């Protein structure tokens, strides 16, 4: 049973390692969705995610004998760092099995806390199966990332902080992978404030909790596909599922494209880097069916590598028409390239890259191709630039994807 006294004890213990993550009011997201939106920035924790709470609390409850055997865990990254940090704090060894798709920054940081990292499988579930095998073969103590009541209790300390800081909160949005965070937060939140609305948010391509709740029993997805690697879990926790059934009021699913937009929104408006799984609750704000409520979005983590950030930013700029490529056909004679460039400049477009292809046609005097990648302020400005090109006689302007 998850009882109030357990959460109180966990809150006291995790305070030894967690950083204060006071709520951040967001004017931008509040205006966007018509509610008063507060962000819970767990991406600012020492290990870059909330997982340090559950890992530290769980290990604090183990016996000396259990710790002495060494710890083993499976994780896409955030639980890995939490276990590695907590193991180091308690002076015990830790082995972490991570999917081969785990961002490099999560692997490096896990190792920096003294843990041994083993890369195995493409998703969490495959890594977890291997970690359990290691535990059985080598006698190590397995620390489950979500299907564990003690771990979930540690994660639930977030709810204690939210309600203490914002007693009149109406709704809490929680990212969901396996369901440990959602179990802890929803259970404690309902104990302290029964009328609070708990909204679980999943990637559309990994919505195992939604499917399980609809079926009334835990279901396993055959295939999952999402850029939110921290919540790419095929099966929600069996043990904690009854708590999710009882305390989750609604599930919202979010497409990957929405996470890309949410990343740009967060960087531009709050100057914070939040990983894709942590952005689920931000992207879900547009799907809320109520207004003028006090809403808390939990930002579960911020561990993402530079290559991923670069890819997200580029795709986000394309989606927002902030960068685009046009293909213009023109005669191959002096001054034509200047004329195109001047037209773009007059429309306040900024040329990022261009490519002049003289071999698109055998008749170079009448037809060569000029591809130009342009920076714009958004959709309206993009259209203004295209209209300007057409107005100056470049009638065969064709929009294409970004030129690499």
Quote the tokens at residue 163. Answer: 């309600």
pLDDT per position as a tens digit, 11-54: 999 999 999 999 999 999 999 999 999 999 999 999 999 999 99
* Beta bridge partner(s), residue 96: 73, 117
| In contact, 166 and 198? CB cutoff 8 Å | no
Quote the tokens at residue 315. Answer: 């795709």
pLDDT for 365 equals 60
> What is the three-class DSSP state of 267?
helix
Compute the mean pLDDT over every residue in the chain, rounded to the nearest whole number.
Answer: 92
Q: Angle 51-60/78-90 helices, nearest 10 degrees?
A: 40
- Band (pLDDT 50/70/90 cuts) for residue 403 is low
pLDDT per position as a tens digit, 298-318: 999 998 888 888 889 888 898
Average pLDDT over residues 349-353: 92
* Beta bridge partner(s), residue 94: 71
| In contact, 29 and 264? CB cutoff 8 Å | no
How many CB atoms lie under 10 A from the CB of residue 178? 27
pLDDT for 368 equals 82
Average pLDDT over residues 347-363: 82
pLDDT for 332 equals 80
Q: Which CATH code is given to the segment(s) 4-46+150-316?
A: 3.40.50.1100
Q: Flag whether pLDDT at 355 surpasses 90.
A: no
pTM of the predicted protein model: 0.87
Tell me which H or E stretch contains 268. helix 256-270
Q: Flag whether pLDDT at 211 surpasses 90.
A: yes
pLDDT for 286 equals 97
Average pLDDT over residues 66-75: 94
The least confident of 113-122, 267-276, 339-348, 394-403 is: 394-403
Q: Which CATH code is given to the segment(s) 321-400?
A: 3.30.70.260
Measured CA to CA, the distance from residue 77 to residue 43 in angstroms comes to 13
Indicate if 321-400 has the same CATH topology as 4-46+150-316. Answer: no
Which of 268, 296, 270, 269 is closest to 284 using CA atoms? 296
Angle at 250 between CA 235 and CA 159, to 5 degrees: 85
| In contact, 24 and 270? CB cutoff 8 Å | yes
Measured CA to CA, the distance from residue 396 to residue 348 in angstroms comes to 21
Measured CA to CA, the distance from residue 69 to residue 120 in angstroms comes to 22
Q: Which CATH code is given to the segment(s) 51-148?
A: 3.40.50.1100
- Band (pLDDT 50/70/90 cuts) for residue 396 is low
- Band (pLDDT 50/70/90 cuts) for residue 92 is very high
The residue written with tokens 């992207």 in the block is 283
What phi and psi values does residue 37 have, to the nearest 5 degrees?
Answer: -100, 130
pLDDT for 11 equals 97
H-type helices in 180-255, by residue range?
Answer: 180-192, 208-215, 241-247
pLDDT per position as a tens digit, 157-197: 999 999 999 999 999 999 999 999 999 999 999 999 999 99
| In contact, 229 and 101? CB cutoff 8 Å | yes
Q: Is the dihedral of CA 18, 22, 27, 32 positive or negative?
A: positive
The domain ranges of the chain are: 4-46+150-316, 51-148, 321-400
> What is the three-class DSSP state of 6?
helix
The least confident of 68-77, 268-277, 332-341, 353-362 is: 353-362
| In contact, 187 and 247? CB cutoff 8 Å | yes
H-type helices in 73-220, by residue range?
Answer: 78-90, 104-112, 124-138, 149-155, 157-165, 180-192, 208-215
């Amino acid at each position: 049973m998850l009882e109030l006294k357990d959460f109180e004890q966990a809150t006291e213990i995790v305070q030894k390692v967690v950083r204060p993550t006071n709520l951040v009011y967001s004017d931008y997201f509040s205006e966007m969705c018509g509610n008063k939106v507060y962000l819970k920035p767990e991406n600012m924790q020492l290990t870059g995610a909330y997982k340090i709470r559950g890992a530290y609390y769980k290990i604090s409850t183990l016996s000396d004998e259990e710790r002495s055997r060494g710890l083993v865990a499976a994780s896409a990254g955030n639980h890995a760092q939490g276990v590695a940090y907590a193991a180091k704090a308690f002076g015990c060894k830790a082995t972490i099995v991570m999917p081969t798709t785990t961002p490099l920054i999560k692997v490096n940081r896990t190792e920096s806390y003294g843990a041994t990292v083993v890369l195995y499988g493409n998703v969490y579930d495959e890594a977890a199966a291997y970690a359990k095998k290691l535990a059985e073969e080598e006698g190590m103590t397995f620390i489950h990332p979500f299907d564990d009541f003690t771990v979930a209790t540690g994660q639930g300390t977030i709810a204690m902080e939210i309600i203490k800081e914002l007693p009149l909160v109406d709704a809490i949005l929680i990212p969901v992978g396996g369901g440990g965070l959602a179990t802890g937060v929803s259970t404690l939140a309902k104990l302290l404030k029964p009328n609070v609305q708990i909204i679980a948010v999943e990637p559309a391509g990994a919505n195992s909790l939604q499917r399980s709740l609809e079926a009334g029993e835990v279901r396993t997805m055959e295939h999952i596909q999402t850029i939110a690697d921290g919540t790419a879990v095929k099966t929600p926790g069996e043990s904690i599922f009854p708590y999710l059934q009882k305390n989750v009021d609604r599930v919202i699913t979010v497409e990957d494209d929405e996470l890309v937009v949410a990343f740009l929104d967060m960087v531009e408006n709050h100057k914070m880097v939040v990983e894709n799984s942590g952005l689920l609750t931000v992207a879900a704000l547009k799907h809320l069916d109520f207004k003028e409520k006090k809403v808390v979005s939990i930002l579960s983590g911020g561990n993402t590598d530079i290559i991923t950030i670069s890819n997200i930013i580029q795709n986000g700029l394309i989606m927002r028409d902030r960068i685009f490529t046009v293909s213009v056909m023109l005669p191959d004679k002096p001054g034509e390239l200047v004329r195109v460039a001047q037209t773009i400049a007059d429309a306040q477009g900024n040329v990022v890259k261009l490519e002049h292809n003289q071999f698109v046609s055998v008749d170079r005097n009448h037809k060569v191709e000029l591809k130009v990648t342009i920076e714009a302020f958004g959709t309206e400005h993009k259209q203004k630039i295209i209209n300007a090109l057409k107005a100056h006689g470049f009638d065969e302007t064709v929009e294409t994807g970004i030129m690499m």
